[in-house]
Amino acid sequence: MSIRPPVFRLLMLMAAALFLAVALTIRALSGGGLEQYSGTALYASMVYVGVLFLWPRLAPLPAGGVAVGFCWLVEIAQLTGVPAALSARSLLARLVLGVQFDPTDLAWYPVGVAPLVAVHWLLRSNTRPPAGVSAQAPAPSPRSGLS
């Protein structure tokens, strides 16, 4: 059984909303390291489902690589000061681009993506037919003995 791309995209939007709600709840109820590191990991999780929203047929490992790579690129860009300048003008830019480079974040991005890659891999392997088996219905066999 395979999920069609429009339904899959809707599920990815719902997952992103869930990750955002969890991050905002933690931010409201907690502080310090839990808030910082869970927010970083959940940001990466949102990026992962965003990648799958854009490319629903992408395999788990490439999707994870794109998500972590994007997160790292945004983090490295913070060294330029451009994200900080944009963040001063826009809350959305602050949420998406961040403000200040933190090398610890580079390690937390894969923490947010790896579990989703594993779940995606398991779900995908359970919905695909075994190797050597066609996903199409078998062709009808010719009638034997009726000439």
What is the per-residue pLDDT across 31-61, written as a single tens digit (0 to 9) for each? 777 888 999 999 999 999 999 999 999 999 9
- Region 67-89: mean pLDDT is 95
Under 8 Å between Cβ of 78 and 100: yes
Terminal C-alpha separation, the chain:
38
> Residue 144's Cα: distance from chain center in Å?
52
Tokens 């923490």 correspond to what residue? Answer: 111
Predicted confidence (pLDDT) at residue 77 exceeds the cutoff of 60: yes
**Nearest alpha carbon to residue 78 among 48, 109, 95, 102:** 102
144: tokens are 């034997």
Q: What residues does each domain of the chain span?
A: 5-127
Helix and strand element counts for the chain (H, E): 6, 0
pTM of the shown model: 0.82
